[in-house]
Amino acid sequence: MKMSDNCILRFFSGLSDAVMSCLLILGLFGGGLAALSAPAAGQQVTQQTSAPNAITGLRLGQIDVQGQEGLRIVVEMQSRPETRLLLLDSPWRLVIDSPSTSWDSRLLPAGDLMKAPASRYRFGHPAPDIGRLVIELAVPATPVRAFILQPTEDGGVGYRFVVDLIDGGPTRFAVARQALAKSRFQPEERAETVTPLSSVPLPAPRPDRALHSKPKIAAPITPVQRPKTFVVAIDAGHGGKDPGALGKKGTREKDITLKAAKMLAEELRKTVNITPILIRNSDRYYKLRTRIKRARDKQADIFVSLHADSAPNSKARGISVFSLSDRASDKEAAYLAQRENKADLIGGPDLDGEDPVAANALLRMFQRESMNESAKLASVILSNIKDLPGGDKRGHRFAGFAVLKSPDIPSILVEMGFLSNRQDEKNLRDNSYLRGLSKRLARAVSLYLENAES
Ligand SMILES: [Zn+2]
């Protein structure tokens, strides 16, 4: 079978991301679909959600998600899907539950997919009125986008529930799994607008027996997989044209944060199951959003931003660990976040337009869960730095730091001390002090990740 025979581009046309390839797994076409939509005798023909639904096709394709290879799953349905998206672990599974939904009898109810990270699918009824499609995953892949496509105008294709997955690692999987278990995600409906669907060649309708045979699948394409270890993104605050805070002795925050970041990476590298990633490893300026993006591109499990503060009151000292919240824990925290967020202004106006992360409803839903996880990480760090000078002084605080806004990656910011305080500045300039701090941070990160996995 040629790729063009089993590749249905119409599902992907008009969407913002480039589709690198696509693959038909199962599907019904033309007359088959029309026949399926006929209502049972005595049943009212309405668009109401209670109307019985049927899954009439399942397709998988590779897709680019902001520069990262992902898997697109398209579930074709007869009526508007009232789906519930869930993730389950041990083994990792994506579950799509739909009320009053059956599986078209001409489709195999289970089979191999061999399209990384999806390995198998099956359909069943966990309750009489629920149809459940399970996609087994070879890695902890998380949904980064889910929406409904409206039927095509010519009626050739019905509603489609679309889910894009990427291999984001166990921590992001856990964040997404918990968020989806707690509240129901309401996917928005989109219309395909760009390419008229009729202009894309469709495969010829197949005889029914073809649907019962094992789906013919092209050679599996394996998306780039993240390392089989935890990925920790270490963000050295400031850099380049942004020096950050300045100490009494002229110490620049950007130099301290870079040195501490490198030390933390060295310490984490000693841990067999952690791969540290430096957001910057030289004196470079990056916008805050770019820092988040770099962490996402590396499929980070967690994000640790390192800073060293300054305050008008030279007596202020100690270590603070911050996580994101809508409301700041105190005035000073709010002021600090405001000042740190201004780092973005140094780089000039942002011409990137709308933040793609914030614009995504599914990721916005994960943010709450991610904030809970970030708070857990912050408290593990605090309990590991208690013995350092000022390590127990300031504690866990909250504020709206822009760099902590990755929706599904637990993120924290450590203010390692005050450059405006004589003793703190002296400590931060002392390599053995920084090494001690890095060791404690590394131990805390490792402890958090071990627990997050179980
Ligand atoms: Zn800073």
Query: Residue 28 belongs to a domain with what CATH number?
Result: 2.60.40.3500
**How close is the Cα of 245 to the center of ligand 1, in Å?**
6
pLDDT in tens, the chain (454 residues): 333 333 333 333 333 333 434 444 454 433 222 222 223 333 333 333 445 899 988 888 888 877 778 899 999 998 888 899 999 999 999 999 999 999 988 888 889 888 889 999 999 999 999 999 999 999 999 999 899 998 877 777 789 999 999 988 889 999 999 999 998 888 888 876 433 322 222 233 333 433 333 443 344 445 555 666 899 999 999 999 999 999 989 999 999 999 999 999 999 999 989 999 999 999 999 999 899 989 988 889 999 999 998 888 899 999 999 999 888 888 888 888 888 888 877 766 655 544 555 568 888 889 889 999 999 999 999 999 988 887 777 788 888 898 998 888 999 999 999 999 999 999 999 999 999 999 999 999 999 998 875 4
Asked if residue 225 is part of any domain, the answer here is: no
**Model pLDDT, residue 286:** 94
My answer on whether 159 and 252 are in the same domain is no
My answer on whether 185 and 239 are in the same domain is no
Give the dihedral of Cα atoms 386, 263, 454, 116; nearest 10 deg: 160
**How close is the Cα of 342 to the center of ligand 1, in Å?**
10
**Model pLDDT, residue 8:** 33
**How close is the Cα of 354 to the center of ligand 1, in Å?**
25
Q: Which domain holds residue 167?
A: 9-194
Neighbours of ion ligand 1 (CB under 5 A): 237, 244, 307
Burial class (CB in 10 A: 0-12, 13-18, 19+), 334: middle
My answer on whether 245 and 364 are in the same domain is yes
Which tokens is 271 given? 């841990």
**How close is the Cα of 287 to the center of ligand 1, in Å?**
13
**How close is the Cα of 103 to the center of ligand 1, in Å?**
55
Domain boundary among 144, 171, 194: 194
Q: Tokens 């005889």 correspond to what residue?
A: 207
Encode burial over 44-56: b for 16+ CB neighbours within 10 A, e otherwise: eeeeeeebebbbb
All residues at 6 or more sequence positions from 331 whose CB lies less than 8 Å from its CB, including other chains:
none
My answer on whether 289 and 147 are in the same domain is no
My answer on whether 251 and 158 are in the same domain is no
Domain boundary among 149, 179, 194: 194
Asked if residue 3 is part of any domain, the answer here is: no
Give the number of domains in the chain.
Answer: 2
My answer on whether 39 and 104 are in the same domain is yes
**How close is the Cα of 238 to the center of ligand 1, in Å?**
6
**How close is the Cα of 301 to the center of ligand 1, in Å?**
22
**How close is the Cα of 332 to the center of ligand 1, in Å?**
14
**How close is the Cα of 257 to the center of ligand 1, in Å?**
8
My answer on whether 353 and 254 are in the same domain is yes
**Model pLDDT, residue 220:** 45
Burial class (CB in 10 A: 0-12, 13-18, 19+), 4: exposed
Q: Is the pTM for the entire model greater than 0.75? A: yes
**How close is the Cα of 419 to the center of ligand 1, in Å?**
10
**How close is the Cα of 331 to the center of ligand 1, in Å?**
17
**How close is the Cα of 120 to the center of ligand 1, in Å?**
47
My answer on whether 282 and 172 are in the same domain is no
**How close is the Cα of 283 to the center of ligand 1, in Å?**
14
**How close is the Cα of 237 to the center of ligand 1, in Å?**
5
**How close is the Cα of 345 to the center of ligand 1, in Å?**
14
All residues at 6 or more sequence positions from 186 whose CB lies less than 8 Å from its CB, including other chains:
361
First to last CA, the chain: 43
**How close is the Cα of 244 to the center of ligand 1, in Å?**
5
Asked if residue 304 is part of any domain, the answer here is: yes
My answer on whether 189 and 303 are in the same domain is no
My answer on whether 394 and 342 are in the same domain is yes
**How close is the Cα of 224 to the center of ligand 1, in Å?**
34
**How close is the Cα of 321 to the center of ligand 1, in Å?**
13
**How close is the Cα of 307 to the center of ligand 1, in Å?**
4
**How close is the Cα of 344 to the center of ligand 1, in Å?**
12
| Residue 444: its H or E element | helix 431-453
**Model pLDDT, residue 16:** 37
Asked if residue 440 is part of any domain, the answer here is: yes
My answer on whether 276 and 132 are in the same domain is no
Which tokens is 365 given? 């839903």
**How close is the Cα of 326 to the center of ligand 1, in Å?**
20
**How close is the Cα of 391 to the center of ligand 1, in Å?**
18
CATH of the domain at 249: 3.40.630.40
**How close is the Cα of 337 to the center of ligand 1, in Å?**
9
